[in-house]
Each structure stands twice: as C-alpha cells, then as structure tokens.
Amino acid sequence: MNLSSTFDKAKEVQGQFKGKKVIMGVDDMDIFKGIILKLLAFEYLLQQNHNLQGKLVLVQIVNPALARYEKTAYYAVAECCLVNVVRDGMNLMPYKYIVCRQGSPGMDDDMGIKADSPRTSMLVMLEFIGCSPSPSGATRVQFFDLFSSGFDLFGSGDNKGKPLKEVIVSRKCAEAVLRGAQVYVPGVLACSAHVERGDIVAVSVVVEQYGPNGGWDLKFCKA
C-alpha cells in the first residue's frame, strides 16, 4: 500500500468516480465465480431503483488484468466490496478489502482524506462462501438478496428502509402466478432470508433465452 504508484492510482480512481458510490468485485474468470450473475443482479438493482442510476458504479476486475498496486487502489476507493462466488473455499479478497480500506498516511494525504475522518464501507458476501463466518461486520446474504437488502446505505429510499423481499420461482410456477395463483412452495428456487407467511414479495423468474452469439443467456423477468 505504501507505494507512490498506489497513491497515484487511488487518486486517479477517486477522481474518475467522483460523486458516485463504487461497488467492486475481483474474481477469476471461472464459471463458479458468479460474475455473470453479479452483472445481472446489478442491472436488476438499477431497473428497480431508478434513483440510483448515475449514482452507483460497479467495477468488476477479472484476474490477472491489473497489477497488484492497481487492485489495492480500487480496494481503497470502493465503498462496497461484493463477493458472490457460488462455489468456493477460502477466499482472501474480503480480507484484502478490509486492510486496504483502512488506508495509510501517505494514501490518505494524496486522496485528501483526514486521518480522523470516518470511513463507510460495506462488505457483502454470500453466506456459503468458505470465509463467510470470519469477518464479523460483513453482510451475509443469499444471492437473490444481494441487491434487495442493505442498499439503503447507498441512498435508496424507495422502500423507506424496508426492502421488498424477493422470491425466485420456476417457469411453471411463474405461469401459475400470472394466472392468479399463489406462489407454491415446490416452485420456489430461492428467496430472501426470513420470508414469512403474509409478507408482500416481488416474484421473479429466471428464464433461459437463446442469445445472439449462439449460446444461452439467463434473464430475470418479473412475474
């Protein structure tokens, strides 16, 4: 962290995203790292919260695209680190983020941050990641709860502090909902934590669509 190149890069990133909240992720190019799902979830967040458009930036770094000092700079600037690996062992990224967000005297001086000024940081992790129990201050969520809870810290006031709970259902279940049926348990694929009987929920379905490049794409659709 105590390198002039890191200081310069952090100041550059800070200026590039001035006035915006930076969410970041650092992952290998691997199907189990959840990069595509992360991008879809961020898209969904902006679609459901128009007031956040232009205020949030998602920076996704794919290893080994950047040098170590560059990653350190992004860690230091980002106000939220998102770790949504769908299958993983011991992931060290949360620890790197925590250390870098503490800053250093040289970096703080370059970025114009006072030594005693408070820092607001948010570490969001899927609850089944190997290191999930360790960081005591982390927000642990299920995947489909990533962007529907906890983001009032970023100024989303649409739900007045009570984020709408999500229920993700199968295609057949979604078709039944469209016909006026209630959500039935066998059709539920995933849901927000602590959903109780009588709760008002947002029902979505994940559908496969044939993509323009000859493959299959996943899309979230509101039921």
Q: For 49-170, where are the alpha helices, taking DSSP H only?
A: 68-77, 93-101, 105-111
* d(C-alpha 220, C-alpha 209), whole Å: 10
| Structure tokens, 80 | 């939220």
Which residue ranges does the chain devote to CATH 3.40.50.2000? 4-154
Which of helix, strand or coil describes residue 64? coil
Residues 84 and 126: their CA atoms lie apart, in Å, by: 5
pLDDT tens profile 152-191: 445 444 444 455 667 777 767 766 665 656 655 566 766 6
The answer as to CATH 2.30.130 being correct for domain 165-222 is yes
Residues of the chain with CATH 2.30.130: 165-222
Q: If DSSP codes are grouped into helix, strand and coil, which group holds residue 212?
A: coil
pTM of the predicted protein model:
0.64
What's the pLDDT at 161? Answer: 45
Task: Please state the separation of Cα 109 from the chain's center in Å.
Answer: 29
Q: What is the pLDDT of residues 70-107, one digit of tens each?
A: 999 999 999 999 887 777 767 788 888 988 888 888 88
pLDDT at 152: 44
Under a CB-based contact definition with an 8 Å cutoff, are residues 147 and 133 in contact? Answer: no
Q: How far apart are CA 44 and CA 137, in angstroms?
A: 26
d(CA 24, CA 32): 17
Tell me the mean pLDDT in the region 1-16. Answer: 90
Domain 4-154, what fold?
Rossmann fold (3.40.50)
Instruction: Report the percentage of the chain scoring pLDDT > 70.
Output: 64
Termini Cα distance of the chain: 47
pLDDT at 127 > cutoff 90: no
The CB density around residue 179, as the number of other CB atoms within 10 Å, is: 7
Q: Quick check: helix, strand or coil at residue 222? A: strand
pLDDT per residue as tens digits for the range 186-220: 667 666 666 777 676 766 776 666 666 766 665 65
Mean pLDDT of the residues in the chain? 75
19: pLDDT strictly greater than 80: yes
Residue the block writes with tokens 């044939």: 210
